[in-house]
Chains A and B, each alone.
Chain A
Amino acid sequence: MFAEFDLEMPNSLDEAVLALARSDGIETLTLAGGSSLMVDIRARRVVPERLISLARINELRRIEILGPRITIGSRTTVSDILRSNQVAEHGAALAASAEVFAGQMVRNVATVAGNIACGSPAADLVPPLLSLDADVVLTNASGFRTVPLADYFTGFKQDVRRPDELITAISWDVPGAKCANRFYKLARRKGDAITVTGVAVTLGAANGVCTKARVALGAVAPIVMRARAAEAMLEGSTLTVELIEEASLKAAEECQPIDDIRASADYRRHAVHMLTRRLVAGAWADLHLATEVS
Protein backbone atom coordinates (compact mmCIF):
# COMPACT_ATOMS: atom_id res chain seq x y z
CA MET A 1 0.00 0.00 0.00
CA PHE A 2 2.83 2.33 0.90
CA ALA A 3 5.45 3.50 -1.47
CA GLU A 4 8.61 1.65 -0.49
CA PHE A 5 11.36 3.49 1.30
CA ASP A 6 14.41 2.77 3.39
CA LEU A 7 14.48 3.67 7.07
CA GLU A 8 17.40 4.62 9.25
CA MET A 9 17.24 4.62 13.03
CA PRO A 10 20.18 6.71 14.32
CA ASN A 11 20.93 6.41 18.04
CA SER A 12 22.18 9.97 18.56
CA LEU A 13 21.93 13.46 17.12
CA ASP A 14 25.46 13.10 15.71
CA GLU A 15 24.48 9.94 13.86
CA ALA A 16 21.30 11.60 12.60
CA VAL A 17 23.00 14.67 11.07
CA LEU A 18 25.68 12.44 9.53
CA ALA A 19 22.95 10.31 7.97
CA LEU A 20 21.32 13.49 6.62
CA ALA A 21 24.68 14.72 5.27
CA ARG A 22 25.24 11.63 3.15
CA SER A 23 22.04 11.72 1.15
CA ASP A 24 23.90 11.12 -2.14
CA GLY A 25 21.01 12.44 -4.16
CA ILE A 26 18.59 10.08 -2.44
CA GLU A 27 15.33 11.82 -1.56
CA THR A 28 15.60 11.83 2.24
CA LEU A 29 13.12 13.09 4.85
CA THR A 30 13.24 13.22 8.62
CA LEU A 31 10.57 11.27 10.50
CA ALA A 32 9.57 12.34 14.00
CA GLY A 33 6.09 11.41 15.28
CA GLY A 34 4.77 10.53 11.83
CA SER A 35 1.32 12.03 12.39
CA SER A 36 1.77 14.35 9.42
CA LEU A 37 4.53 12.79 7.32
CA MET A 38 3.06 9.27 7.25
CA VAL A 39 -0.26 10.68 6.06
CA ASP A 40 1.51 12.66 3.32
CA ILE A 41 3.46 9.58 2.21
CA ARG A 42 0.32 7.46 2.12
CA ALA A 43 -1.43 10.12 0.01
CA ARG A 44 1.71 10.26 -2.17
CA ARG A 45 2.05 14.00 -1.62
CA VAL A 46 5.70 13.19 -0.87
CA VAL A 47 7.64 10.21 -2.18
CA PRO A 48 10.81 9.79 -0.12
CA GLU A 49 13.33 7.07 -0.87
CA ARG A 50 14.73 7.16 2.65
CA LEU A 51 13.46 8.26 6.05
CA ILE A 52 15.60 9.07 9.05
CA SER A 53 13.66 8.34 12.24
CA LEU A 54 14.37 10.37 15.36
CA ALA A 55 12.59 7.79 17.56
CA ARG A 56 15.74 6.78 19.44
CA ILE A 57 17.22 10.24 19.97
CA ASN A 58 16.09 10.96 23.50
CA GLU A 59 18.46 13.93 23.87
CA LEU A 60 16.05 15.87 21.64
CA ARG A 61 13.13 15.23 24.00
CA ARG A 62 13.48 17.79 26.80
CA ILE A 63 12.13 21.03 28.19
CA GLU A 64 14.59 23.18 30.14
CA ILE A 65 15.07 26.70 31.41
CA LEU A 66 18.57 28.16 31.29
CA GLY A 67 18.76 31.72 32.55
CA PRO A 68 16.19 33.79 30.66
CA ARG A 69 15.56 31.19 27.94
CA ILE A 70 13.16 28.28 27.81
CA THR A 71 14.23 25.60 25.34
CA ILE A 72 12.16 22.74 23.98
CA GLY A 73 13.93 19.87 22.27
CA SER A 74 12.60 19.20 18.80
CA ARG A 75 11.26 15.72 19.60
CA THR A 76 9.25 16.91 22.60
CA THR A 77 5.69 15.71 22.04
CA VAL A 78 2.43 17.61 22.39
CA SER A 79 1.65 15.41 25.41
CA ASP A 80 5.03 16.36 26.94
CA ILE A 81 4.03 20.02 26.56
CA LEU A 82 0.73 19.36 28.31
CA ARG A 83 2.55 17.73 31.24
CA SER A 84 5.06 20.59 31.58
CA ASN A 85 4.58 23.15 34.36
CA GLN A 86 7.36 25.19 32.76
CA VAL A 87 5.44 25.56 29.49
CA ALA A 88 2.22 26.30 31.40
CA GLU A 89 4.04 29.11 33.18
CA HIS A 90 6.19 30.53 30.39
CA GLY A 91 4.19 29.71 27.27
CA ALA A 92 0.51 29.90 28.17
CA ALA A 93 -0.60 30.15 24.53
CA LEU A 94 1.50 27.11 23.57
CA ALA A 95 -0.04 25.07 26.40
CA ALA A 96 -3.50 26.25 25.28
CA SER A 97 -2.82 25.14 21.71
CA ALA A 98 -1.68 21.70 22.92
CA GLU A 99 -5.05 21.34 24.66
CA VAL A 100 -6.92 21.55 21.35
CA PHE A 101 -4.40 19.55 19.33
CA ALA A 102 -5.77 16.49 17.46
CA GLY A 103 -6.54 13.44 19.66
CA GLN A 104 -4.69 11.57 22.40
CA MET A 105 -2.82 9.09 20.22
CA VAL A 106 -1.58 11.84 17.90
CA ARG A 107 -0.65 14.10 20.85
CA ASN A 108 1.43 11.21 22.25
CA VAL A 109 3.64 11.13 19.14
CA ALA A 110 3.35 14.50 17.35
CA THR A 111 6.36 16.71 18.02
CA VAL A 112 6.95 20.43 18.26
CA ALA A 113 9.48 20.34 15.43
CA GLY A 114 7.20 18.23 13.28
CA ASN A 115 4.43 20.77 13.64
CA ILE A 116 6.82 23.47 12.41
CA ALA A 117 8.49 21.35 9.72
CA CYS A 118 5.22 20.22 8.15
CA GLY A 119 4.83 23.84 7.09
CA SER A 120 1.06 23.89 7.31
CA PRO A 121 -0.47 27.34 7.82
CA ALA A 122 -2.96 25.56 10.11
CA ALA A 123 -0.23 24.07 12.37
CA ASP A 124 -1.63 24.67 15.86
CA LEU A 125 1.60 25.16 17.79
CA VAL A 126 3.05 27.75 15.42
CA PRO A 127 0.93 30.88 16.18
CA PRO A 128 1.71 30.59 19.92
CA LEU A 129 5.44 30.12 19.24
CA LEU A 130 5.41 33.04 16.80
CA SER A 131 3.66 35.22 19.40
CA LEU A 132 6.45 34.32 21.85
CA ASP A 133 9.20 35.42 19.38
CA ALA A 134 10.56 31.87 19.36
CA ASP A 135 13.76 30.89 17.57
CA VAL A 136 14.34 27.67 15.65
CA VAL A 137 17.71 25.92 15.99
CA LEU A 138 18.82 24.13 12.82
CA THR A 139 21.68 21.65 13.09
CA ASN A 140 23.75 19.89 10.45
CA ALA A 141 26.99 17.91 10.51
CA SER A 142 29.14 21.06 10.65
CA GLY A 143 27.28 23.05 13.30
CA PHE A 144 24.07 24.87 14.04
CA ARG A 145 22.36 28.17 13.28
CA THR A 146 19.47 29.96 14.91
CA VAL A 147 16.63 31.37 12.82
CA PRO A 148 13.77 33.46 14.20
CA LEU A 149 10.51 31.57 13.62
CA ALA A 150 9.24 34.83 12.09
CA ASP A 151 11.80 34.35 9.27
CA TYR A 152 11.51 30.56 9.02
CA PHE A 153 8.65 30.17 6.55
CA THR A 154 9.12 31.51 3.03
CA GLY A 155 5.86 30.34 1.44
CA PHE A 156 3.18 27.67 1.56
CA LYS A 157 4.96 24.57 2.93
CA GLN A 158 8.29 26.22 2.18
CA ASP A 159 10.98 27.18 4.67
CA VAL A 160 14.64 28.10 5.06
CA ARG A 161 15.72 24.64 6.27
CA ARG A 162 18.34 23.04 4.03
CA PRO A 163 18.06 19.34 3.18
CA ASP A 164 20.97 18.43 5.48
CA GLU A 165 19.55 20.34 8.44
CA LEU A 166 17.49 19.07 11.33
CA ILE A 167 15.34 21.20 13.63
CA THR A 168 16.90 20.43 17.02
CA ALA A 169 15.33 22.96 19.37
CA ILE A 170 12.84 25.79 19.76
CA SER A 171 13.53 28.47 22.35
CA TRP A 172 12.22 31.82 23.54
CA ASP A 173 12.77 34.37 26.28
CA VAL A 174 10.81 33.58 29.41
CA PRO A 175 8.11 36.25 29.46
CA GLY A 176 8.13 38.34 32.63
CA ALA A 177 5.19 39.08 34.90
CA LYS A 178 4.39 42.12 32.75
CA CYS A 179 3.59 39.91 29.78
CA ALA A 180 0.37 38.13 28.84
CA ASN A 181 0.03 35.36 26.27
CA ARG A 182 -3.24 33.98 24.91
CA PHE A 183 -4.43 31.63 22.15
CA TYR A 184 -7.71 30.55 20.64
CA LYS A 185 -8.37 27.93 17.98
CA LEU A 186 -11.61 28.19 16.05
CA ALA A 187 -12.60 24.78 14.66
CA ARG A 188 -15.67 22.58 14.33
CA ARG A 189 -14.82 20.70 17.54
CA LYS A 190 -12.31 21.08 20.37
CA GLY A 191 -10.52 17.86 19.50
CA ASP A 192 -9.56 16.03 16.31
CA ALA A 193 -10.33 18.99 14.05
CA ILE A 194 -8.31 21.13 11.66
CA THR A 195 -8.11 24.83 12.51
CA VAL A 196 -10.41 27.27 10.70
CA THR A 197 -8.60 30.22 12.27
CA GLY A 198 -6.08 30.28 15.11
CA VAL A 199 -4.91 33.45 16.83
CA ALA A 200 -2.17 33.92 19.42
CA VAL A 201 -1.52 37.22 21.17
CA THR A 202 1.32 38.40 23.40
CA LEU A 203 1.16 41.77 25.11
CA GLY A 204 3.77 43.44 27.29
CA ALA A 205 3.08 46.58 29.34
CA ALA A 206 4.87 49.15 31.46
CA ASN A 207 3.31 52.13 33.24
CA GLY A 208 -0.06 51.48 31.66
CA VAL A 209 1.34 51.54 28.12
CA CYS A 210 1.51 48.56 25.76
CA THR A 211 5.25 48.12 25.17
CA LYS A 212 5.05 44.98 23.07
CA ALA A 213 2.34 43.46 20.91
CA ARG A 214 2.43 40.25 18.92
CA VAL A 215 -0.56 39.04 16.93
CA ALA A 216 0.03 35.71 15.15
CA LEU A 217 -2.58 34.34 12.78
CA GLY A 218 -2.98 30.70 11.72
CA ALA A 219 -4.83 29.25 8.71
CA VAL A 220 -5.54 32.64 7.09
CA ALA A 221 -2.51 33.01 4.78
CA PRO A 222 -0.03 30.74 2.94
CA ILE A 223 2.05 30.72 6.15
CA VAL A 224 1.33 31.39 9.81
CA MET A 225 1.72 35.17 9.77
CA ARG A 226 2.13 38.11 12.09
CA ALA A 227 -0.33 40.99 11.81
CA ARG A 228 2.45 43.55 11.92
CA ALA A 229 0.35 46.62 11.15
CA ALA A 230 -2.07 45.69 13.94
CA GLU A 231 0.87 45.13 16.29
CA ALA A 232 2.26 48.59 15.42
CA MET A 233 -1.08 50.22 16.24
CA LEU A 234 -1.09 48.63 19.70
CA GLU A 235 2.54 49.21 20.67
CA GLY A 236 3.25 52.47 22.47
CA SER A 237 -0.37 53.15 23.39
CA THR A 238 -2.68 52.68 26.31
CA LEU A 239 -5.17 50.20 24.97
CA THR A 240 -8.78 51.29 24.77
CA VAL A 241 -11.82 49.48 23.45
CA GLU A 242 -11.70 51.70 20.34
CA LEU A 243 -8.00 51.09 19.66
CA ILE A 244 -8.38 47.33 20.12
CA GLU A 245 -11.29 47.37 17.64
CA GLU A 246 -9.24 49.34 15.09
CA ALA A 247 -6.23 47.06 15.44
CA SER A 248 -8.42 43.95 15.14
CA LEU A 249 -9.94 45.29 11.93
CA LYS A 250 -6.42 45.98 10.69
CA ALA A 251 -5.42 42.36 11.42
CA ALA A 252 -8.45 41.18 9.44
CA GLU A 253 -7.33 43.44 6.57
CA GLU A 254 -3.75 42.12 6.69
CA CYS A 255 -4.56 38.42 6.48
CA GLN A 256 -4.98 36.62 3.14
CA PRO A 257 -7.47 33.81 3.73
CA ILE A 258 -8.85 31.43 1.12
CA ASP A 259 -12.16 29.65 0.66
CA ASP A 260 -11.86 25.95 1.38
CA ILE A 261 -13.84 22.98 2.69
CA ARG A 262 -13.66 24.27 6.26
CA ALA A 263 -14.68 27.92 5.84
CA SER A 264 -15.00 30.82 3.43
CA ALA A 265 -12.36 33.53 3.23
CA ASP A 266 -14.94 36.07 4.45
CA TYR A 267 -15.72 33.99 7.51
CA ARG A 268 -12.02 33.59 8.32
CA ARG A 269 -11.52 37.35 8.02
CA HIS A 270 -14.42 37.90 10.40
CA ALA A 271 -12.92 35.32 12.76
CA VAL A 272 -9.58 37.15 12.75
CA HIS A 273 -11.39 40.41 13.61
CA MET A 274 -13.36 38.87 16.47
CA LEU A 275 -10.62 36.63 17.89
CA THR A 276 -7.96 39.34 17.78
CA ARG A 277 -10.30 41.73 19.57
CA ARG A 278 -11.20 39.16 22.21
CA LEU A 279 -7.63 37.95 22.80
CA VAL A 280 -6.04 41.42 22.90
CA ALA A 281 -8.71 42.63 25.34
CA GLY A 282 -8.22 39.47 27.42
CA ALA A 283 -4.43 39.77 27.44
CA TRP A 284 -4.68 43.45 28.38
CA ALA A 285 -6.98 42.48 31.26
CA ASP A 286 -4.46 39.77 32.31
CA LEU A 287 -1.75 42.44 32.53
CA HIS A 288 -3.85 44.68 34.75
CA LEU A 289 -4.69 41.74 36.98
CA ALA A 290 -0.98 40.97 37.27
CA THR A 291 -0.27 44.60 38.18
CA GLU A 292 -2.92 44.60 40.89
CA VAL A 293 -1.59 41.39 42.41
CA SER A 294 2.05 42.49 42.42
Chain B
Amino acid sequence: MREKAIVFEVNERQHCTTIPSHRTLLEVLRALGYVDVKCGCEKGDCGACAVLVDGEAIDSCLTLAWTVEGRAITTVAGLGNSNNPHPLQAAFARNGAIQCGFCTPGVIIASESLLRKTPNPSDDEIRFALSGNLCRCTGYTKIFEAVREMVLTRSGGVLR
Protein backbone atom coordinates (compact mmCIF):
# COMPACT_ATOMS: atom_id res chain seq x y z
CA MET B 1 0.00 0.00 0.00
CA ARG B 2 1.15 3.50 -0.81
CA GLU B 3 -0.38 6.93 -0.41
CA LYS B 4 -0.21 9.88 -2.75
CA ALA B 5 -1.88 13.21 -3.33
CA ILE B 6 -4.41 12.97 -6.12
CA VAL B 7 -5.95 15.94 -7.92
CA PHE B 8 -9.40 15.56 -9.42
CA GLU B 9 -12.57 17.55 -9.90
CA VAL B 10 -15.94 16.76 -8.34
CA ASN B 11 -19.00 18.75 -9.47
CA GLU B 12 -16.71 21.48 -10.84
CA ARG B 13 -14.79 21.79 -7.59
CA GLN B 14 -11.08 20.93 -7.46
CA HIS B 15 -9.88 18.48 -4.84
CA CYS B 16 -6.35 17.55 -3.87
CA THR B 17 -6.37 14.81 -1.31
CA THR B 18 -4.03 12.10 -0.06
CA ILE B 19 -5.41 8.67 -0.93
CA PRO B 20 -4.10 5.13 -0.31
CA SER B 21 -3.58 2.99 -3.43
CA HIS B 22 -6.35 0.51 -2.60
CA ARG B 23 -9.10 3.09 -1.94
CA THR B 24 -12.13 3.08 -4.26
CA LEU B 25 -13.60 6.23 -5.76
CA LEU B 26 -16.84 5.46 -3.88
CA GLU B 27 -15.04 5.46 -0.51
CA VAL B 28 -13.20 8.69 -1.34
CA LEU B 29 -16.30 10.53 -2.56
CA ARG B 30 -18.34 9.64 0.50
CA ALA B 31 -15.46 10.56 2.82
CA LEU B 32 -15.30 13.96 1.10
CA GLY B 33 -18.99 14.47 1.85
CA TYR B 34 -20.53 13.49 -1.49
CA VAL B 35 -23.02 11.20 0.25
CA ASP B 36 -25.47 11.50 -2.65
CA VAL B 37 -23.32 8.68 -4.10
CA LYS B 38 -24.77 5.54 -2.51
CA CYS B 39 -22.97 2.38 -1.45
CA GLY B 40 -25.09 -0.59 -2.53
CA CYS B 41 -23.87 -4.02 -3.58
CA GLU B 42 -20.19 -3.12 -4.14
CA LYS B 43 -20.13 -5.68 -6.97
CA GLY B 44 -21.22 -3.67 -10.01
CA ASP B 45 -24.71 -5.17 -9.97
CA CYS B 46 -26.92 -2.40 -8.54
CA GLY B 47 -25.65 0.90 -9.98
CA ALA B 48 -26.38 2.90 -6.80
CA CYS B 49 -22.80 4.25 -6.77
CA ALA B 50 -22.80 5.45 -10.39
CA VAL B 51 -21.05 8.74 -11.17
CA LEU B 52 -20.02 10.39 -14.40
CA VAL B 53 -16.30 10.41 -15.17
CA ASP B 54 -15.72 12.86 -18.02
CA GLY B 55 -19.40 12.45 -18.89
CA GLU B 56 -19.55 8.66 -18.93
CA ALA B 57 -21.30 6.65 -16.19
CA ILE B 58 -19.22 4.16 -14.21
CA ASP B 59 -19.69 2.29 -10.94
CA SER B 60 -17.51 4.11 -8.40
CA CYS B 61 -17.33 0.96 -6.22
CA LEU B 62 -15.32 -0.82 -8.94
CA THR B 63 -13.02 2.12 -9.63
CA LEU B 64 -9.80 2.77 -7.74
CA ALA B 65 -9.50 6.47 -6.89
CA TRP B 66 -5.98 6.77 -8.30
CA THR B 67 -7.26 5.82 -11.76
CA VAL B 68 -9.42 8.98 -12.04
CA GLU B 69 -6.55 11.38 -11.33
CA GLY B 70 -7.01 14.60 -13.31
CA ARG B 71 -10.51 13.72 -14.45
CA ALA B 72 -13.86 15.43 -13.90
CA ILE B 73 -16.41 13.59 -11.77
CA THR B 74 -20.09 14.48 -11.61
CA THR B 75 -22.40 13.13 -8.92
CA VAL B 76 -26.18 13.52 -9.00
CA ALA B 77 -25.91 16.62 -6.77
CA GLY B 78 -23.66 18.14 -9.42
CA LEU B 79 -26.44 17.90 -11.99
CA GLY B 80 -28.93 19.96 -9.99
CA ASN B 81 -30.53 20.53 -6.58
CA SER B 82 -33.99 21.12 -5.16
CA ASN B 83 -33.90 24.84 -5.94
CA ASN B 84 -32.54 24.34 -9.43
CA PRO B 85 -33.25 20.75 -10.49
CA HIS B 86 -31.87 19.14 -13.61
CA PRO B 87 -34.69 18.33 -16.09
CA LEU B 88 -34.23 14.62 -15.32
CA GLN B 89 -34.58 15.27 -11.59
CA ALA B 90 -37.74 17.31 -12.22
CA ALA B 91 -39.15 14.58 -14.46
CA PHE B 92 -38.46 11.91 -11.80
CA ALA B 93 -40.28 13.98 -9.17
CA ARG B 94 -43.22 14.70 -11.47
CA ASN B 95 -43.64 11.05 -12.48
CA GLY B 96 -43.35 9.49 -9.04
CA ALA B 97 -40.22 7.69 -10.20
CA ILE B 98 -38.76 7.90 -6.70
CA GLN B 99 -39.98 5.87 -3.74
CA CYS B 100 -37.30 5.11 -1.16
CA GLY B 101 -34.84 7.06 -3.30
CA PHE B 102 -31.76 4.94 -2.70
CA CYS B 103 -31.32 3.92 -6.34
CA THR B 104 -32.29 7.35 -7.71
CA PRO B 105 -28.83 9.01 -7.81
CA GLY B 106 -27.42 6.13 -9.85
CA VAL B 107 -30.46 5.90 -12.10
CA ILE B 108 -30.30 9.62 -12.92
CA ILE B 109 -26.56 9.41 -13.58
CA ALA B 110 -27.09 6.41 -15.91
CA SER B 111 -29.87 8.31 -17.70
CA GLU B 112 -27.74 11.43 -18.08
CA SER B 113 -24.85 9.35 -19.45
CA LEU B 114 -27.22 7.96 -22.09
CA LEU B 115 -28.65 11.37 -23.01
CA ARG B 116 -25.23 12.98 -23.43
CA LYS B 117 -24.37 10.40 -26.11
CA THR B 118 -27.87 9.78 -27.48
CA PRO B 119 -30.02 12.91 -27.01
CA ASN B 120 -33.12 11.30 -28.54
CA PRO B 121 -33.02 7.63 -27.48
CA SER B 122 -35.59 4.99 -28.44
CA ASP B 123 -37.53 3.13 -25.73
CA ASP B 124 -35.18 0.16 -26.13
CA GLU B 125 -32.13 2.40 -25.78
CA ILE B 126 -33.53 3.82 -22.51
CA ARG B 127 -34.15 0.32 -21.11
CA PHE B 128 -30.70 -0.83 -22.25
CA ALA B 129 -28.99 2.16 -20.59
CA LEU B 130 -30.76 1.44 -17.30
CA SER B 131 -30.00 -2.31 -17.30
CA GLY B 132 -27.29 -1.84 -14.66
CA ASN B 133 -29.50 -0.11 -12.08
CA LEU B 134 -31.55 -2.11 -9.62
CA CYS B 135 -34.65 -0.58 -8.02
CA ARG B 136 -36.63 -2.55 -5.44
CA CYS B 137 -39.57 -0.12 -5.13
CA THR B 138 -40.88 1.26 -8.39
CA GLY B 139 -40.99 -1.76 -10.65
CA TYR B 140 -39.06 0.45 -13.11
CA THR B 141 -42.16 1.59 -15.02
CA LYS B 142 -42.27 5.08 -13.55
CA ILE B 143 -38.49 5.46 -13.89
CA PHE B 144 -38.77 4.56 -17.54
CA GLU B 145 -41.72 6.95 -18.01
CA ALA B 146 -39.80 9.80 -16.36
CA VAL B 147 -36.82 9.43 -18.69
CA ARG B 148 -39.14 9.08 -21.65
CA GLU B 149 -41.12 12.16 -20.69
CA MET B 150 -37.96 14.22 -20.40
CA VAL B 151 -36.77 13.02 -23.80
CA LEU B 152 -40.16 13.81 -25.34
CA THR B 153 -40.34 17.25 -23.75
CA ARG B 154 -36.88 18.12 -24.96
CA SER B 155 -37.39 16.82 -28.50
CA GLY B 156 -40.67 18.73 -28.83
CA GLY B 157 -42.81 15.62 -28.44
CA VAL B 158 -41.39 13.70 -31.40
CA LEU B 159 -41.61 9.96 -30.75
CA ARG B 160 -39.06 7.62 -32.20
Residues of A within 8 A of B (CB): 1-7, 9, 31, 33-35, 38-39, 42, 51, 53, 55, 99, 102-109, 190-192
Contact = CB atoms under 8 A, between A and B. Distances in A.
B62 A34 contact: yes
A98 to B, nearest CB: 11
Contacts of A104: 47, 57, 110, 113-114, 128-133
B2 interface: yes
B131 A42 contact: no
A2 B24 contact: yes
Contacts of B114: 104
B159 to A, nearest CB: 23
Interface residues of B, dominant DSSP: mixed
B91 to A, nearest CB: 19
A5 B64 CA distance: 11
B62 A39 contact: yes
A106 B22 contact: no
Nearest to B106: A105
Interface of B: 1-2, 20-24, 27, 42-45, 47, 50, 56-59, 61-64, 66-67, 69, 106, 110, 113-114, 127-134
A102 B66 contact: no
A119 to B, nearest CB: 18
A19 to B, nearest CB: 14
Contacts of A38: 24, 44, 61-64
28 contacts: A1-B27, A6-B1, A6-B21, A9-B66, A9-B69, A31-B64, A33-B62, A34-B63, A35-B44, A35-B62, A38-B62, A39-B62, A51-B64, A53-B67, A102-B131, A103-B133, A104-B57, A104-B131, A104-B133, A105-B44, A105-B58, A105-B59, A105-B106, A106-B59, A108-B56, A108-B57, A109-B59, A109-B63
Of residues A5, A99, A109, A190, which shows the largest number of chain B Cβ atoms within 10 Å of its Cβ? A109
A3 B57 CA distance: 26
A192 B63 contact: no
Contacts of B63: 34, 38, 109
A4 B20 contact: yes
A42 B2 contact: no
Nearest to B113: A104
Contacts of B129: 104
B42 A109 contact: no
Contacts of A109: 58-59, 62-63
B27 to A, nearest CB: 8
A4 B23 CA distance: 9
Most A Cβ at <10 Å: residue of B1, B56, B131: B131
B2 A192 contact: no
A5 B66 CA distance: 12
B134 A7 contact: no
| Most A C-beta atoms less than 10 A away, residue of B27, B47, B58, B133 | B58
A54 to B, nearest CB: 9
A53 B66 contact: yes
Nearest to B64: A7
Nearest to A100: B131
Given A34-B62, A192-B131, A105 B50 contact: yes
A191 B62 contact: no
A1 B130 CA distance: 28
A103 B131 contact: yes
Closest 3 CB pairs of A and B: A103-B132, A191-B131, A4-B1
A53 B132 CA distance: 24
A39 B61 CA distance: 9
Contacts of B1: 4-6
Contact of A192 (B22, B23, B24, B134): B134
B132 A192 contact: yes
A81 to B, nearest CB: 14
A91 to B, nearest CB: 19
A3 to B, nearest CB: 7
Most buried by A among B24, B63, B132: B132
A69 B100 CA distance: 51
Contacts of B50: 105
